[in-house]
Structure 1
């Protein structure tokens, strides 16, 4: 459209903004009917979504903010609790290393692949967190939690292609105060918090926040003690045996220490924290088990005759493994309330760091500098055969160190133009000691049992090899280095008192290099007595234990002696650059009613897939992902701020979706690993509504309707019901994207009532609903999470002007068994270690009720 005149230009602006304002009309009408007019004034919600403190209603993007006080009163302790309160936010993965975050159904990534990033940026006090799993910690002493939806390509930039989580912690105060809190509940859940702040000198203040959380396990593991006893009685060495009869317990603790210097125009905050997790909760206080086993009489999946024969043989072998020298037999009859693993299944995670934030006011311009180091380590045992039989394990002991420095200049608000310019430098080094195969005490009995039952011509492996193999590991020592640099600028022109124009750009350069050498030194170095090299080679291949680097020879019995043509890559790199940006118009229809239109683009760097052994040396690196989002919305307040609301309509597009699949390279080579599989479009409406109805009654209602589908996906793996019937790949255009429920709702009514001069009663109910969604790359009836809902309740009394607080709570009050993650187990191939068809599930906590006491001084 040609804008020939000033009048024409303004007519286009008015048309865009008027169209956006129509989005608010249904909400306005409902609010006016439901809310009584009163004299109380609502409080402004301040966010830092644009790297400066602003009223949320002045920010022309879709953002949901929850104050730290609200989180505290609701007893919110972890990310899963927050997901229930923030529609459109979802998570994937059963442990911190595999963890991924999605917003609007976009962001899912194979984060276990060490050389790849996530499309959702996570920031603590302005510091980027390299691994999404770093957000899996108890959220204590939080000032605000913000979900920024859509690309944040200008100011946040670092892998915030589809949104960001912006978490801010409370800062030291020059007014002394102490807060102590203790909670106790079902399953011996116990949590203690202590927060102390105050001055050290006239110019220096401190703040110390410490916590500890403990709970007993709640998922039964009846097969683990029996396995441990059987191994002991038979004198069989089983390094993973444990007598623990439950899992999903919790033990976490942490400390955050801050020092604040205020000297005239200079403010310096030095912050250090450490968070330690030693439990089996995967950061969610959740656990898992085999929810369903498929087999004779319950195939579930439309398997072929050959696959049914393999599974039937595998089930027979599990029931006869003692006859072949195994620890004990197992007949797969699984209670979905229990888990069948035989190991101790405890994650050991540490998340720590130090940051120095300095602000200097030059008068009209403020300089901000943030320098940070963060460390994250993760050590999880994993019973990869998914049985109580000790066939094999793997684990990824990850250690990540990152360094970042950001400096920016920002103008004050005195002139017609506000601006920010800055630069960002980032370096990280991830070392992954990946045990890609640890042999178990039952691996030889399992191999012999399965193949004896499957083939009369099979020659068993002598059981004497067990002593040499049990506990031996094949190791992949992955190293990934990532360097990132960016410059950015953003400005807002206050064209008039009512109209603002914002624009910004960010240039980003990203480089990664990595290597994954394989170490087989723990394997037998000489041919064991009674075993031919051909036998041992067949054994290693059958149990998927041949792991090599391309171009290298491994002179280990049982390994091919020729040069490997495929395997874990050694010394590869990739680099990308990008220019992303944003532009928005916002218009104040009234001082309390703002409408806006925003367009933004984002960038997720390409990467390396270093954790898939079937990679071809000719495989290209994973290409970058780009996003774009157009959004129109209205934010405002009504009736003297008795009602506040925000509503936005959006269309967000992602090109170059990164995920892990099996596929074929252009040269015809079969490939398994991460690649760009297509494009996704998310389209929908999201809203937030808060109303004070009177007599101490309040209501918040947040929601998201999201239609996220593939717009291009020419060759994705077929879902199980097709792949087991011989169809390898499908064109998934038009299918729903993974982890993208159509509806997500959160409703919280609350009631406060003064019962005496020194006492106030309060209560709330937190209800959330999510419609069904798929967890697979393609939609399958076997990886569908059904519609779910959750209800949390709390009621208490605040005494002496909130000095003391005593409350009762019930989380998951209706005892729903909601699914957090779901994965499908494949049929065994040869003597593969997965011995049956089935599904593994991570569930939420069962109903937990208890008491919280808080005191402030």
Structure 2
């Protein structure tokens, strides 16, 4: 059951490409949303410095900063998560994750040009239930989480989820041997469910989380190409995935608080629902920008966020010839940077205020086995930008409003109660933005994408198959490049891109003991027009290690960044019944073709293969003991590569990891 059309429906009935991953499966892969990369075709979820930046079917972003939005929207319990840094969270008490592919501009609105990721946590239960999990893995990684829920009378239920993780990390300072990517996080979440009548329901949610994980800024200088290398005291330069050579050690700290109130009332002809959310976040970042021991360039800053959102929807019952949903949405964010220091000197203070409003309607009309699908959304968004530079006293202020209509239309034909085919058109819109690290008052334009898709879905007790083919026109792509002359990023719009491809995934219940899932994705993505694309090249011999820019090039015809042409993945699990309990053996292979990280195709990750596996013994229905391994091939591969005037930087994936886990349910 999925909620891609703002109602609970069977996956097979929804004319959208959707991949559903149970929370337990993601937790086995590392309790991070990034684990979905190995499980979902056509999706790459990677960390770019301080930000989680998913790429779906070639649409992703390398742009980050306060007031700068992603183009794959992440929703947590129905609430849009605006902060890209705030999306570095562990999956706590997660019921399931739905990954919706293609523009979701009609039903999920702003900043969903590539798709939407819907994370849903468990709801409180009136029946007492409890769960506890503990694991220990390589690099002294300890993870513990507990969940409990119970009813208080027949109208109130409450739950509590607690999570803690600590790891020494796998990277060491090349000179001192000190740990440099030690990770620590904790999360406390609670919900209170109140059902005064059969028709009326309220859920109050509270959460507090803290994450300290500097891995996103632990860049090495790829092939030693750093502007600091020719300078005294810069060496040695790290060359191994377990090493780091930075004179300023990285820091990424994120603290967030959230309060959410959901309500629904059954009016008979429709259900009226409301989601109200208030969130605060305070981050602190420190980054070495040249990846050498020379004190060439480093920065530190503290972003703050205060978000409020309100959504109201009216949804028809799921039965009948005509099913529909209509709603209104409001979002307000105050985001600002304080204490931005560049090379130890105060550099800039800036803030961006966002006010977004939208109204939408969507419906499906059934004529026998044929269904007509149509929807429309109007979005209006204003951003106010202000910045000042303490060193000079200069200050600027500006504001801009963007309006957009994002429709969808399509047909679905039911072949049988368990299979259908569909064809759809949809449009996506990503908001424009100001550069929060500069005094430039000219914003970048919004992104827009027109998407066409045809698909086939079939689901029976033994076999499920999903096939899809798509074609996108992608315009005004937002990109960034690092400008060493001023020490911060530069934002601009690339021109256009065309994307097309096909995906297939299937799950087969071979026997009562054996289940197999396989997925394949082909994505052809290229810039159809990209004059003036930034290019950074290593300096010529005689200035070894310095990275210089050659200015703009024409990248038209080049592959889009972070978009592998092919990905293949799968999962197989085999259950062996024992005289006492059972043993389940599972394996998750993953293969990716080459991934480009620069517009000129100079830097890339070659094709690579990884394998995760798990053996779990369940002596009773309540107790599970397991051993697991991730990246068992111990493949050294990049999760992110960046080029700038200061360096060619690379982040490597975690080396082979293995551990043991204990799980208990009541």
| 8 Å CA contact retained: 1:691, 1:698 | yes
Task: Say whether 1:780 aligns with 2:601.
Answer: yes
The runs of 5 or more residues in structure 2 that have no matched partner are 541-546
The residue aligned with 2:492 is: 675
Per-residue deviation, 1:369: 0.2
1:408 to 313, 334, 339: 313
Per-residue deviation, 1:604: 1.1
CA RMSD of aligned residues (A): 2.2
Per-residue deviation, 1:490: 0.6
When residues 676 and 266 of structure 1 are mapped into structure 2, their CA distance, relative to the original with a 3 A threshold, is same
Per-residue deviation, 1:149: 0.6
Task: Say whether 1:88 aligns with 2:42.
Answer: yes
The residue aligned with 2:544 is: none
Separation of aligned partners in 1, 2:560 and 2:294: 36
- Indicate the structure (1 or 2) with the bigger Cα radius of gyration: 1
The residue aligned with 1:254 is: 187
The residue aligned with 2:418 is: 592
The residue aligned with 2:54 is: 101
Per-residue deviation, 1:330: 4.2
Separation of aligned partners in 2, 1:218 and 1:166: 31
Separation of aligned partners in 1, 2:92 and 2:548: 50
Alignment of 1:90-489 (within 5 A): 90-96=44-50, 98-112=51-65, 114-223=66-175, 225=176, 245-264=178-197, 265-282=199-216, 287-294=218-225, 315=229, 317-318=231-232, 329-336=233-240, 337-439=242-344, 473-489=345-361
Per-residue deviation, 1:367: 0.4
Deviations 1:193-242 (A, max 9, x none): 1000010221000111111001112212032x4xxxxxxxxxxxxxxxxx
**TM-score normalised over the length of structure 2:** 0.94
Per-residue deviation, 1:383: 2.1
The residue aligned with 1:326 is: none
| 8 Å CA contact retained: 1:128, 1:158 | no
| 8 Å CA contact retained: 2:559, 2:601 | no
| 8 Å CA contact retained: 1:719, 1:780 | no
| 8 Å CA contact retained: 2:596, 2:604 | yes
Task: Say whether 1:739 aligns with 2:566.
Answer: no
| 8 Å CA contact retained: 1:394, 1:434 | no
Task: Say whether 1:685 aligns with 2:502.
Answer: yes
Separation of aligned partners in 2, 1:725 and 1:820: 23
When residues 387 and 753 of structure 1 are mapped into structure 2, their CA distance, relative to the original with a 3 A threshold, is same
Alignment of 1:634-653 (within 5 A): 634-637=456-459, 641-653=461-473
When residues 351 and 727 of structure 1 are mapped into structure 2, their CA distance, relative to the original with a 3 A threshold, is same
When residues 672 and 206 of structure 1 are mapped into structure 2, their CA distance, relative to the original with a 3 A threshold, is closer
Separation of aligned partners in 1, 2:377 and 2:478: 22
Per-residue deviation, 1:391: 4.5
Per-residue deviation, 1:695: 4.8
| 8 Å CA contact retained: 2:127, 2:151 | yes
Task: Say whether 1:625 aligns with 2:496.
Answer: no
Per-residue deviation, 1:651: 0.4
More strand by share: 2
2:8 to 53, 61, 73: 53
Separation of aligned partners in 2, 1:438 and 1:722: 23
Separation of aligned partners in 2, 1:204 and 1:410: 25
When residues 716 and 681 of structure 1 are mapped into structure 2, their CA distance, relative to the original with a 3 A threshold, is same
Task: Say whether 1:729 aligns with 2:549.
Answer: no
Per-residue deviation, 1:856: 0.9
The residue aligned with 1:563 is: none
Deviations 1:17-53 (A, max 9, x none): xxxxxxxxxxxxxxxxxxxxxxxxxxxxx11111111
| 8 Å CA contact retained: 1:359, 1:369 | yes
Separation of aligned partners in 2, 1:770 and 1:56: 27
Per-residue deviation, 1:644: 0.3
| 8 Å CA contact retained: 2:385, 2:399 | yes
Per-residue deviation, 1:158: 2.0
When residues 408 and 693 of structure 1 are mapped into structure 2, their CA distance, relative to the original with a 3 A threshold, is same
When residues 478 and 148 of structure 1 are mapped into structure 2, their CA distance, relative to the original with a 3 A threshold, is same
Alignment of 1:802-841 (within 5 A): 802-826=621-645, 834=646, 838-841=647-650
Per-residue deviation, 1:771: 1.1
When residues 578 and 197 of structure 1 are mapped into structure 2, their CA distance, relative to the original with a 3 A threshold, is same
When residues 817 and 352 of structure 1 are mapped into structure 2, their CA distance, relative to the original with a 3 A threshold, is farther
Per-residue deviation, 1:589: 1.0
1:704 to 508, 521, 526: 521
When residues 780 and 416 of structure 1 are mapped into structure 2, their CA distance, relative to the original with a 3 A threshold, is closer
1:794 to 585, 601, 614: 614
More helix by share: 1
When residues 662 and 214 of structure 1 are mapped into structure 2, their CA distance, relative to the original with a 3 A threshold, is closer
When residues 433 and 156 of structure 1 are mapped into structure 2, their CA distance, relative to the original with a 3 A threshold, is same
The residue aligned with 2:664 is: 855
